[in-house]
Amino acid sequence: EVGVIAKTYINQGQLIPDDIMTRLMLNELKNLHRYHWLLDGFPRTVPQAEALDETCQIDTVINLDVPFETIKQRLTARWIHPGSGRVYNLEFNPPKDV
């Protein structure tokens, strides 16, 4: 199964190759053809975008154009609790114990 192959890359801390990621996503989207859906983080590459465009009818695209300094500030203030996996931001959503 494609998901098992993808998991091996994730477990090794590697990015999932385009062909595997595209197959995984498009297989899932085929099951959702009757519904509205929102993608976050896919597509990330031109080949992924081309495959998505060939397979699905896209009605709306939202492109968030954020200045690099804002991204840098948000990522530096980001903290993930190792035990729970909860994501915090030390500036506007700090954990209670910090």
Using alpha carbons, list the distances in angstroms from residue 52 to 4, 74, 89: 21, 29, 33
**Residue extents of the structural domains in the chain:** 2-55, 64-98
At a CB cut-off of 8 Å and minimum separation 6, what does 80 contact? 86, 87, 88
**Average model confidence (pLDDT) across the chain:** 90
pLDDT tens figures, 70-93: 999 999 999 999 888 899 999 988
Cβ atoms within 10 Å of 21's Cβ, excluding its own: 22
Quick one: pLDDT band at residue 41, thresholds 50, 70, 90? confident
The dihedral region occupied by 41, where left means phi > 0, alpha psi between -120 and 50, and beta the remainder, is: left
